[in-house]
Every structure is written in C-alpha cells, then in structure tokens.
Structure 1
Amino acid sequence: MDDSPLFGPGSQFDQFFNDPRWALAMVRATVLEAAHPQIGAALIDNSTFTTHPWRRLQNTFLSMRRMFGADEEVRQREAARLNRLHARLNGTDARNQPYDAMDPEVRAWVVATLFESAVTMCRLSGQPLEQITMERLYREFRAYLAALGDQAGYLPPTLNEFWRYYDRMVEEELENTEALQIILYKLFDHLPAPALLEGIPTIWAAGRALAGPVIGTITVASLPESFRRRAGLPEIPGAQTLTQSAYLAVGLARFLPDGWIHAEGVASLLSLSPDSDDPRAKTITAVRDGIKRAGALLRLITPLPDEPEPGDVSGSQRSAEEFFRTVLDQTGDGSLDWPDLAAMARELSGRLDLDEPAETALYNAYADWWKELQQALDTDGDGRISAQEYAAAVPHLAGPALIKLADVLFDATDADGNQSIDADEYRALFRTGFHRDMSETGGTYSRSAFVKEFLSFMSGRQRSKAYDPLLAQA
C-alpha cells in the first residue's frame, strides 16, 4: 500500500485520462456493460447513445473528470447528480425482467469494466501494467464506487479476488443482448456525423464505412474469449493481430508534446456547432468549406450552392417527420414516449448543473408535457406516439404544459434569479454566445423572448441556431 492520492493529480487514473488508447478501451467497456442484461435493458429503453453519441461522449468525459478530480466538493455534487439520474432509470425489459440502474451489483459491474478495460488496453498495446500500478489503479476505481455511496463488498477488496469475480461475471451473467448487438453492428455502421462535420456527409460516410467495421472487429477481438464463444460473436482471421496493432498505433500518440491530446477538448470539439462562436469551430468550419470546394472542383459535377442572401429564411422550417426524428425521438426507437422527454430533461439538467429542487421541477414539467401530448396525439392508446400519429395530427404543441415547461427552463437557466439571462447563463445552456443583437436589452435575454423562441422551436418546428445544437444534433 502506498500513500498516492486516489483522485486528482498524481493518481494513476489522472495519468491515463488523456491517453488516446482510452477511446478504444471505453468502447470495449461499454460493450461489456451492455452485455449485462440489466444494463442492456436500461440502454435500450432510456439511452440516447445511438442517436446522440457525441453528446453522450462529451457528458461522460465531463462526469469522469469531475469524479476523479481533486475537488471533493465537485465530486460529491457529481455523485449526487449521478445517483439522481440512476434512480430514474428503472423498469422491465422485453422479457418482463426488472432492471434498476441503482442496483449496487450493476453499478459495481460498470466500474469493473472500466478498470479491466484500462488493464487490457495496456496489455494489448505491449505495455502491461506492473502489479503495484494495477493495484493502485484498482484502489482508485473502488474509491470511485465508494464516492457514489455504494456499500463495500460489491467489488472485491483485493485485486486477486477481483479477477475471480470478473471471470464469474463473464461466465455466468453476461449475454448477447440487443444493446450489445446495436453497439457492435449498428452504431458504427450508422454513426451520425459530429456537428462540425455535418456539412460533408459524403466524406463522413466514406470514412465511417472504412473505420466502422475495423472498430467493430477490434472491439470483438478484445473481448474475453469465453464470452465471444458463448455469445456467438464472429472469429475473424487476423483480428487479434489487428487489435494489438491498433492499440499500439493509437498509443504512439501519447508521445506527442504535452497538451496536444486532451480528452475533454477533443470530445467538446466534436460536439461544437458550426455556428458556435468558439474559435476552434471557425477554424474547422473553414477547413471543411475548403474540402467541400475542392471536392466539387475535382468531381466537376456541380458547383456549390449559392450562399443565401441576408434575410433569406428558406430552410428555416422543417417537416413534421424531420422534427419528430431529430428532436422528439431522442432514443431513436421510432416512437415518442416518456424516455425521450426524460432524455431532454437529463441533458438540460446536466448542462445547467442543476441541484434539487430545480432538477426535479424540470423533470416534472416534462412529465406534465408528456401527459398533454398523450391526450392530444396517442390515438391508439398504446402509451406512445408514433411518427405517423404525430405527422397526421400536425399538432400545435404550444399547450399550457409546454408553456409551463418553457417557464421552468427559464428559471433554471436564470441562475441569479434576476428575471433575465445574461451572457454567462446563456452560454451555460447553449454552450455558445448570444446569436442576436443584444445591445438594446443591455446584453440580456428576457423571459418573454426566451419563452417565445422555445415555443417557436418546439411547436412550430422552426430551426434555431441555439436549440438545434441543444436537442437535435448528435
């Protein structure tokens, strides 16, 4: 035992956090999590990982940084937020089996996959961890679980006992779940472009077509052999060599100068809207435009479309089907039900870093809106709203519950309670600066203007430079 810090600078996890191999290890850990029946069911019913993977990635990195950082107050606040989030994720799966994200054994397995995948990434890249380093890292992950308030004992106290626990879980608990199949064979093949690359779909599709199968093959080959056989996952010749080569090649990036690889920075960069006032977005947008123009010149097919004239509002409206798919159906299952609106509440609460009771007030406002939507649109009474039901009704959604929701969101964003949203509060919600001339209002955003724009977006399907990145982009 040593006296190294369990969190913050000097911890083993802090040394690993910006290691580029984590990208592959995190995918592997997610697959092992999804193979647990309870976690797989919760992902299918509640998660936005297929429709909004880049948003999910950024939020995951932010949460891990808070939990493993040196600030104890920040860690306790994040732990409380995670516990509230998990407490809302429960139900029954397609086989009528219950799942509960607060089950301590389930939460222990999530932490176990992160630790074991960190060990595996080092082994596959030819730099296996020394025993003392492995034990130190294991203590840090057990401390992470303890910070969440879980009882001791669900992760074994020693590393030797952990490996017996891990082997038992792999042999007895894991299954070839629907969530696992989606991650391995659908997510990578249909991965939406990050916000900054949405303007070059052809290039993104070509890159995804090449990289997707490779990432899937690497991930499968890195899973425990006994589970691969039992789950019937394909054995591709040369996959093990490809996997080791990929981990080794990606690992070389850690020898770049300090500061060149920053996990949170990369995740946030992928999530930036092209309209963001962040200087990085402007630089990448310029490069993207150059690629588009060069591509048009080389193909000699058609020139780029003319830039819209100032004041041109063509394309500001979207069809009912597109609005349903990109905004309302957050989980991507083809229908609108409570988990979709809960996902919106979860994203907004996370961005604003809400505590109780503001978080619960926002969830309750969404719940009231869901009841209003059901009464108006659920014509067959099956408890969910299909795209056909929504499109056929062409509803005006600005009912009393949605208006109330807009008010609650304004109050949550107005952190200082002065009945206006200033530049910092606006950025906390939208992650960008004001997209309007605020000189006449003293650089603030009034309640009436906020509510009007929110209702216009949610009921009129009006495109919005603020709300599109918030609720529609991946």
Structure 2
Amino acid sequence: MRDVRRASRPSPGHDQGGRNPAFRRFLADSTPVVAGGRAILLQIADPVVAAGVRRHSDFARRPQQRLAHTLMYVVAVVVGTPEDAAVAASFVSHAHRPVAGADDPDRQLWVAATLVDSAIRTHRLLGSPVDDERAEDLLRAYRPIATALRVPAERWPDSMAAFERYWVSTLAQLRVTDEARGVVRDLLHPRHAPGWVRAAMPVVRIVTVGMLPATVRAQYGFAWGPREVRRFRRTVAGLRLFRAVVPSALLRLPGPLLLRAMHRTARRYPAA
C-alpha cells in the first residue's frame, strides 16, 4: 500500500474550525452507526457497486469489515482533522484501484448520498431533533465525503430540496441483483464473524430491513408484514430508550476509537 500520509488533500469543504461546538458534538454522535447496514444495502442496490463489493471484498469471512471501514471514512472526513481525512481517502483510493467502475462519480455520489440520508433518518428515528435547518447543515457537512472521492463539487446537491429530487430519481433506477443478495446474506447472516457481532445481528437485521425504502426492501425479497412492522417498532422503541439514558460522551466515543484504529492500520502499511 502506498504511503497514506501522501494522500491528496481533502476538499475545501472540509472545514472543521468554522462549525459551532454544538454542531460538532452532534456530528460526532455515533447514532448513525445504527443505519450502517441500511446504507450498505442501498449502495449495493446499484449493480456496479454490488459487483465490485462481491468480487473484491472479504464479506464471507469478515462481513463487518466494510461497515467498519465505511464508518472510519465517515468519521475521518466529517469530524476528523484534514490529516485524518487524507488518510481515509487514501485507503479508499487504494481499495478501489482494482475495482471496475469504483471511481465512477455517479457511483461515489450515490454512496455518499446513502450515508447522509441514513444519518438524517436515524437521528430522527431515534429521537434527535433534526429540523430543516439542521438537515441542511448535515448535507453541507457530508459534502466532503463525496468530493474526497473525486465527485465534482458541483455534483453535490446544494439544498435538501435538490437532494430529495436526486434521491427519488436514483431510487427509481436501482436494481437489486443476485450479487447484491449474496452480499446481504454474508452481511446479515455472518458465519465467521466474532461472537459479539453475531450476537448483535438480530437487532441489526430488524433495523436494517425496517429502514429500507419499501421498493428496495421488496427487491431484496425481505418479508415485511404486520409481524415485522411490530418487531421493528419495538426494537426502535428500545433503542430510543437506550439512547436516552446513555451519556452523550459515550455516544461520541466510537469516533475516536475508529480514528485510532485507522491510524494504527496506516502505520502498519506505510509504503506501496
């Protein structure tokens, strides 16, 4: 692997110093982690993304790896330092090198869009007040996720209204393939994951499937009737209660841990 410290500089939109402390704390809240699986399922509903993940990722043996790497990237680019963002972008660039179509701006734009949409929806689902102004702030904060992946800055929607138009249009074009379904089997029913991952999977499956848009959920073939709806609502109620009693400092703890793990990996692979 090439020296990650020599990665290209992140987008000019990577402006941490200009954000007020309350918004920085909001961005550092790990609540969107709950929707990590949902974001991945939406990403691989694009056939090109699904093919790349299936052929070049180690999903069957380490299904949690793509989720962890995705979360590292989001934390590094959205709330990390410029150095953090550069390291994360370098890792992604290295991983994408052998994958046909991985650097397609249309695909990278969709990947970034699933992350901001999942973040907004998860905060609202679990009780965080995200009004229109806060949603616009989040949209701007997540812009460097796309531009660091070489999506032209002008391609990122400049308002939530523009984002919703893009979202609806792209959802209508998604097509879940057998490759995507194979990835989902590995992700939601991991055979070789650590015990703590397998123990969490029942909750992960319920939340992931329940948060999907109905059209995408149907393409994957997930059962979704009154029993599943009740189970989803009970699970969400439990997560809201858990989130309400957990100290905010603990909700922000995963971010620093992910950044430390990322930099440890960078030190182990300092050169191409």
TM-score (norm 2): 0.77
What is the aligned partner in structure 2 of residue 31 from structure 1? 41
Candidates 81, 92, 95, aligned match of 1:82: 92
Residue 46 in structure 1 maps to residue 36 in structure 2: no
Q: What CA deviation, in whole Å up to 9, does each residue of 1:356-414 have, x standing for no partner?
A: xx31xxxxxxxxxxxxxxxxxxxxxxxxxxxxxxxxxxxxxxxxxxxxxxxxxxxxxxx
Unaligned residue ranges in structure 1 (runs of 5+):
91-99, 198-203, 272-347, 360-474
2:159 maps to 158
Q: How far apart are the structure 2 equivalents of 1:83 and 1:44?
A: 18
Matches of 2:217 and 2:65, distance apart in 1: 30
Work out whether 1:15 is the aligned partner of 2:6. Answer: no
Report the Cα distance in structure 1 between the residues aligned to 2:187 and 2:144, rounded to whole angstroms: 32
Secondary structure at 1:35's aligned position in 2?
A: coil
Distance in 2 separating the partners of 1:85 and 1:229: 31
- Tell me, in whole angstroms, the C-alpha distance in 2 between the residues paired with 1:71 and 1:353: 20
Tell whether 2:235 aligns with 1:246.
yes
Shift of 1:67: 1.8
1:125 and 2:136 are equivalent in the alignment: no
Q: State the shift of 1:186 in Å.
A: 4.0
Amino acid at match of 1:142: R
Select which of 246, 268, 271 maps to 1:352: 268
Taking the aligned partners of 1:183 and 1:59, their CA distance within structure 2 comes to: 16
- CA shift in 2, pair 1:351/1:168, >3 Å: farther
Question: CA offsets, 1:200-249, max 9 Å, x none?
Answer: xxxx79x64xx545532432221112333455432232323432432342
Whether the aligned pair in 2 keeps the contact of 1:58 and 1:264 (CA below 8 Å) is no
Q: Is the 8 A contact 2:126 2:240 kept in 1?
A: yes
Are the aligned partners of 2:47 and 2:180 in contact in 1 as well (CA < 8 Å)?
A: no
- Residue aligning to 1:105: 106
Query: Structure 2 CA distance, aligned partners of 1:12 and 1:224?
Result: 28
Secondary structure, counterpart of 1:153 in structure 2: helix
Q: Residues 206 and 235 of structure 2 are in contact (CA less than 8 Å); yes or no, is this contact kept in structure 1?
A: no
Q: Does 1:175 align with 2:164?
A: no
Q: 1:190 to 1:149 in 2, by over 3 A?
A: closer
Contact 1:57 1:267 in 2 (8 A): no
1:260 corresponds to: 250
1:199-278 mapped onto 2 (5 Å cutoff): 208=199, 212-254=201-243, 255-261=245-251, 262-264=253-255
User: Structure 1 residue 43: deviation in Å?
Assistant: 0.6
Aligned length: 254
Q: Secondary structure at the match of 2:156?
A: coil
Cα deviation for residue 260 of structure 1 reads: 3.3
Given that 2:87 and 2:266 are in contact with CA atoms closer than 8 Å, whether structure 1 keeps it comes out as no
Task: Confirm or deny: 8 A CA contact 1:188 1:216 kept in the other structure.
Answer: yes
**Residues 277-297 of structure 1, C-alpha deviations (whole Å, 9 max, x = no match):** xxxxxxxxxxxxxxxxxxxxx
Shift of 1:118: 1.0
What do residues 292-340 of structure 1 show as CA deviations (whole Å, max 9, x unaligned)? xxxxxxxxxxxxxxxxxxxxxxxxxxxxxxxxxxxxxxxxxxxxxxxxx
CA distance in 2, matches of 1:187, 1:248: 24
Q: RMSD between aligned alpha carbons?
A: 3.4
Question: For residue 263 of structure 1, what is the amino acid of its counterpart?
Answer: P
Q: Do the aligned partners of 1:218 and 1:239 also contact (CA within 8 Å) in 2?
A: no
2:71 aligned with 1:61? yes
Give the direction of change, closer, same or farther, for the CA distance of 1:140–1:164 in structure 2 (3 Å limit). same
- More RCO (CA 8 Å, sep 6+): 2
Using the alignment, how far apart are the partners of 1:74 and 1:187 within structure 2? 27
In the alignment, which residue of structure 1 is the partner of 2:9?
Answer: none
Counterpart in the other structure of 1:280: none
1: CA distance between counterparts of 2:149 and 2:22? 18
User: Is contact 1:35–1:176 with CA below 8 Å preserved after alignment?
Assistant: yes
Amino acid at match of 2:39: A
CA distance 1:152–1:257, change in 2 (3 Å) = closer
* Corresponding residue number in structure 1 for 2:11: none
Equivalent position SS for 1:42: helix
Specify whether residues 227 and 129 from structure 1 end up closer, same or farther in structure 2 by C-alpha distance, changes over 3 A only: same
Q: Distance in 1 between matches of 2:232 and 2:212?
A: 11
Structure 1 residue 187 corresponds to structure 2 residue 187:
yes
Structure ranking higher in helix proportion: 2
Structure 1: how far apart are the matches of 2:236 and 2:169?
Answer: 26
Percent identity between matched residues is 25
Shift in alpha-carbon separation, 1:258–1:23, aligned structure 2, 3 A? closer
* Contact 1:6/1:143 (<8 A) preserved: no
